[in-house]
């Protein structure tokens, strides 16, 4: 989740949001088809087999679904960051503040509406039109987003130790469980597989204390 590719982190967000928002899941499925079709069209435009004007239809589809996806991701990361930060402080007692930040492929400001994000996305598509045709694939949209974890002033994916990475991941997963509980009205079952092996005794105790708060928890 931390050291892997952006694809893993997007999948983490997509699975979480889709469990509480069916509109998001449908938008995500449609968006993936739109990007695939648009990429194919970009290649045929480059080869001179399709007119450039045909991109307008797919641009409309990409903006409609993509802007909704990006707004939902931004709102979810904001909520997760707050909970994960509190949990991380509880698990470490070291005063290192954890922050999760959404890294969209376009310039976004917190609190923007779907229409506002859609207009920014459309403008970016127009600016990159020639480059996209030359390369044959779509350069901006939700499929290029990422999620960044910052501990203090440190990028966790670049500078953190394995123990720190494990604690950050655990805080994120526990924040995810809280998010699901709040939005579904039902507490999830917590499954922790080999989560204690790289933690010191103090952190193990804190993790186990946290796990006891759940109605059902399995730890290996």
Reference 78, options 98, 100, 95, 56; nearest CA is 100
Q: State the first-to-last Cα distance of the chain, in angstroms, to the nearest integer.
A: 20
Per-residue pLDDT tens listing for the chain (220 residues): 999 999 999 999 999 999 999 999 999 999 999 999 999 999 999 999 999 999 999 999 999 999 999 999 999 999 999 999 999 998 887 677 899 999 999 999 888 999 999 999 999 999 999 999 999 999 999 999 999 999 988 899 888 888 888 889 999 999 999 999 999 999 899 998 888 887 788 888 888 888 888 889 998 8
pTM (2 d.p.): 0.92
Helices (H), the chain: 6-18, 22-46, 55-92, 114-127, 129-135, 156-159, 162-184, 201-211
């Amino acid at each position: 989740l931390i050291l892997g590719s952006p694809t893993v982190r997007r999948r983490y967000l997509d699975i979480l949001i889709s469990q509480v928002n069916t509109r998001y899941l449908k938008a995500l499925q449609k968006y993936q088809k739109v990007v695939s079709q648009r990429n194919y069209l970009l290649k045929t435009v480059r080869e001179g087999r399709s007119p450039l004007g045909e991109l307008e239809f797919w641009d409309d589809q990409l903006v409609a679904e993509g802007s909704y996806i990006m707004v939902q991701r931004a709102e979810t990361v904001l909520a997760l960051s707050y909970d994960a930060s509190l949990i991380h402080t509880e698990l470490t007692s070291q005063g290192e503040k954890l922050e999760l930040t959404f890294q969209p492929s376009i310039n976004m400001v917190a609190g923007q509406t779907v229409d506002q994000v859609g207009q920014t996305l459309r403008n970016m598509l127009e600016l990159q039109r020639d480059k996209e045709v030359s390369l044959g694939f779509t350069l901006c949209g939700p499929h290029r987003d990422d999620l960044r974890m910052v501990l203090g002033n440190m990028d966790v994916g670049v500078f953190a130790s394995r123990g720190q990475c494990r604690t950050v991941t655990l805080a994120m997963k526990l924040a995810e469980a809280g998010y699901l509980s709040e939005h579904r009205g039902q507490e999830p079952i917590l499954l922790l597989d080999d989560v204690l092996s790289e933690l010191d005794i103090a952190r193990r105790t804190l993790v186990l204390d946290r796990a006891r708060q759940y109605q059902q928890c399995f730890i290996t």
